[in-house]
């Protein structure tokens, strides 16, 4: 019998308990061992809940109980969650989590602590909700040198961009609609400014390099400046606008990692990923492209990913093995996002178009829309492009092409 404690009985935590209990027989059949939820840690009581008797308020009850093999941290935040995770790992209890903020900030350190204490730390649910991607990188893609990861890693922004494209609506009205439907938070900043996607690509880039990529070192641009006219130009270019989180290998030493809106071809694998769905496109040097698509959020999708970790942790315990995950505390070498040569869409007021074209000689005019003229500029770094735009003295909006 494997005994589990769940820290936090909120949306994800209650989902984890539900998956473990409702699929108990099926999971036991696959693992060859029964898994039981022994404790649920929460500050609150849950009168009338069928698991009311499992609720404890003191984390010591869990840490001091040698019967607890696995701890699921579904509390969120980097305060108590960090302390409790360290206590569990130090006590030799394996931990799994959905907490991307904690994983991004302390992943390498917690993996090391787990290894020093003969247990494991897993975080499948921290990126892409229910989409299997962490385990895939750590196991199925182990023979590959991963050259690039491109992801639509945030459902809220993907929903907003999909609606703006399909309905021609502006950002503010679509955001309000998304909030009313419960697809966007009342305070949407972490999503719309790209921070959530930034944390997720920092985790994926760390696994891609085996070294630490910090969210604080990643350039992040959200979707708040994208306007309806940009979708008109995108349509004329046969493209969709998506918030793409990217990690690209430059050479044997450095990678570039950033988050920004991109215009991508409609027939690009990520071009058809709409509404709240997420997807991750991984390019390996032997395999080529492989894409993983699904629900990036939601109670049971995220809980299912946490429970996939519980099963792996149970299997590792029974076999007495460490689970594969290479993520050292050494810093990965990051090249600035604006030094890499890329292609861009740029637009300016049509009255200023000649001025802009005169300072960017390679600019190819693509269309006019709503008093704006759009150009495509190839093979230029953002730094060079910004310099040219500044020299032109005109107001320009730009979006990367991918
Ligand atoms: N707020 C996130 C999203 C889900 O909109 O995708 C949790 O990471």
Q: What is the pLDDT of residues 233-251, one digit of tens each?
A: 999 999 999 999 999 999 8
Mean pLDDT, range 24-40, rounded to an integer: 98
Q: Which residues contact 64 (CB under 8 A, 6 or more apart)?
A: none
| Average model confidence (pLDDT) across the chain | 96
The neighbouring-strand residues paired with 294 are: 278
Compute the distance from residue 230 Cα to the ligand 1 centre, in Å.
24
Compute the distance from residue 114 Cα to the ligand 1 centre, in Å.
27
pLDDT at 198 over 90: yes
- The predicted model scores a pTM of 0.97
Residue pLDDT, tens place only, 301-321 = 999 999 999 999 999 999 999
Q: What's the pLDDT score for residue 267?
A: 97
Using 50, 70 and 90 to split pLDDT, how confident is the model at 183?
confident
Mean pLDDT, range 260-268, rounded to an integer: 98
**What are the residue ranges of CATH 3.30.70.120 in the chain?**
339-401
Residue pLDDT, tens place only, 130-144 = 999 999 999 999 999
**What are the residue ranges of CATH 3.40.50.720 in the chain?**
2-130+298-319
Shortest-distance atom of ligand 1 to CA 302: 7
Compute the distance from residue 373 Cα to the ligand 1 centre, in Å.
35
Closest CA to 103 of 129, 142, 76: 76
Q: List the structure tokens of 51.
A: 């698991």
**What are the residue ranges of CATH 3.30.360.10 in the chain?**
136-295
pLDDT at 216 over 80: yes
Q: Indicate if ligand 1 lies below 6 Å from the C-beta of 296.
A: yes
Among 190, 296, 299, 305, the mutation site with the greatest number of ligand 1 atoms within 8 A of its Cβ is 296
| CATH class of domain segment(s) 136-295 | alpha beta
What is the residue with the minimal CA distance to atom 7 of ligand 1? Answer: 297
Q: Indicate if ligand 1 lies below 6 Å from the C-beta of 155.
A: yes
Q: Indicate if ligand 1 lies below 6 Å from the C-beta of 126.
A: no
Q: Indicate if ligand 1 lies below 6 Å from the C-beta of 302.
A: no
Shortest-distance atom of ligand 1 to CA 190: 1
Q: List the structure tokens of 9.
A: 């009985």
Residue pLDDT, tens place only, 34-66 = 999 999 999 999 999 999 999 999 999 999 999
User: Is 116 strand, coil or helix?
Assistant: helix
Share of the chain above pLDDT 90, in %: 95
Q: Indicate if ligand 1 lies below 6 Å from the C-beta of 191.
A: yes
Q: Indicate if ligand 1 lies below 6 Å from the C-beta of 130.
A: no
| CATH class of domain segment(s) 339-401 | alpha beta
Compute the distance from residue 284 Cα to the ligand 1 centre, in Å.
26
Do residues 342 and 381 make contact, with C-beta atoms less than 8 angstroms apart? yes
Q: Indicate if ligand 1 lies below 6 Å from the C-beta of 297.
A: yes
Q: How many Å apart are CA 359 and CA 275, to the nearest integer? A: 38
Q: How many Å apart are CA 277 and CA 56, to the nearest integer? A: 35
Burial 53-91 (b: 16+ CB within 10 A, else e): ebbbeebeebbebeebbbbbbbbbeeebbbebbebbbeb
Q: Indicate if ligand 1 lies below 6 Å from the C-beta of 104.
A: no
Compute the distance from residue 124 Cα to the ligand 1 centre, in Å.
14
Domain 2-130+298-319: CATH superfamily is: NAD(P)-binding Rossmann-like Domain (3.40.50.720)
pLDDT at 395 over 90: no
Task: Decide the pairing of beta strands 239-249 and 254-265.
Answer: antiparallel
Residue pLDDT, tens place only, 95-151 = 999 999 999 999 999 999 999 999 999 999 999 999 999 999 999 999 999 999 999
Compute the distance from residue 30 Cα to the ligand 1 centre, in Å.
30
Q: What's the pLDDT score for residue 392?
A: 87
Compute the distance from residue 156 Cα to the ligand 1 centre, in Å.
6
What is the residue with the minimal CA distance to atom 4 of ligand 1? Answer: 297
- Which of 105, 200, 211, 295 is flagged as catalytic? 200
Q: What's the pLDDT score for residue 182?
A: 86
Q: Indicate if ligand 1 lies below 6 Å from the C-beta of 154.
A: yes
Known catalytic residue at 38: no
Do residues 29 and 97 make contact, with C-beta atoms less than 8 angstroms apart? no
Q: Indicate if ligand 1 lies below 6 Å from the C-beta of 101.
A: no
Q: How many Å apart are CA 91 and CA 7, to the nearest integer? A: 16
Q: What's the pLDDT score for residue 362?
A: 86
Q: How far apart are the first and last CA of the chain?
A: 50
Query: Residue 185 to residues 77, 83, 176, 295, 392: CA-CA distances in angstroms?
Result: 17, 27, 10, 17, 39
Q: List the structure tokens of 402.
A: 């991918």
CB atoms under 10 Å from CB of 104, counted, come to: 25
Kind and range of the H or E run holding 29: helix 24-31
Shortest-distance atom of ligand 1 to CA 296: 6
pLDDT at 361 over 80: no
């Amino acid at each position: 019998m494997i005994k589990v404690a769940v820290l936090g009985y909120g949306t994800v935590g209650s989902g984890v308990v539900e998956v473990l209990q409702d699929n108990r027989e099926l999971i036991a059949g696959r693992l060859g061992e029964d898994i039981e939820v022994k404790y649920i840690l929460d500050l609150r009581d849950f009168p009338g809940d069928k698991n009311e008797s499992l609720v404890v308020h003191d984390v010591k009850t869990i840490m001091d109980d040698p019967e607890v093999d696995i701890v699921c941290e579904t509390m969120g935040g980097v305060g108590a969650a960090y302390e409790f995770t360290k206590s569990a790992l130090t006590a030799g209890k394996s931990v799994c989590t959905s907490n991307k903020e904690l994983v991004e900030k302390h992943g390498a350190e917690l993996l090391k602590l787990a290894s020093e204490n003969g247990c494991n730390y897993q975080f499948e649910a921290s990126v892409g909700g229910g989409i299997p991607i962490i385990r895939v990188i750590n196991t199925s893609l182990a023979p590959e040198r991963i050259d690039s990861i491109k992801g639509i890693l945030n459902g809220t922004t993907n929903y907003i961009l999909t609606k703006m494209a399909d309905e021609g609506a502006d950002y503010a009205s679509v955001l309000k609609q998304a909030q009313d439907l419960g697809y966007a938070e009342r305070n949407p900043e972490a999503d719309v400014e790209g921070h959530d996607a930034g944390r997720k690509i920092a985790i994926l880039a760390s696994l891609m390099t085996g070294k630490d990529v910090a969210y604080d070192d990643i350039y992040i641009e959200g979707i708040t400046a994208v306007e309806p006219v940009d979708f008109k130009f995108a349509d004329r270019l046969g493209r969709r606008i998506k918030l793409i989180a990217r990690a690209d290998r430059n050479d044997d030493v450095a990678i570039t990692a950033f988050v920004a809106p991109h215009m991508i071809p409609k027939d690009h694998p990520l071009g058809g990923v709409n509404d709240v769905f997420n997807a991750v496109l991984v390019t390996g040097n032997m395999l080529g492209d492989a894409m993983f698509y699904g629900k990036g959020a939601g109670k049971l999708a995220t809980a299912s990913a946490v429970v996939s970790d519980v099963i792996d942790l149970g299997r590792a315990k029974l076999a007495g093995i460490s689970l594969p995950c290479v993520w050292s505390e050494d810093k990965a070498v990051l090249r600035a996002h604006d030094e890499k040569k890329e292609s861009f869409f740029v637009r300016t007021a049509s009255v200023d178009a000649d001025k802009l074209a005169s300072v960017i000689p390679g600019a190819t005019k693509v269309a006019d829309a709503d008093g704006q003229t759009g150009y495509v500029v190839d093979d230029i770094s953002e730094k060079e492009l910004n310099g040219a735009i500044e020299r032109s003295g005109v107001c320009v909006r730009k979006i990367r092409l991918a």
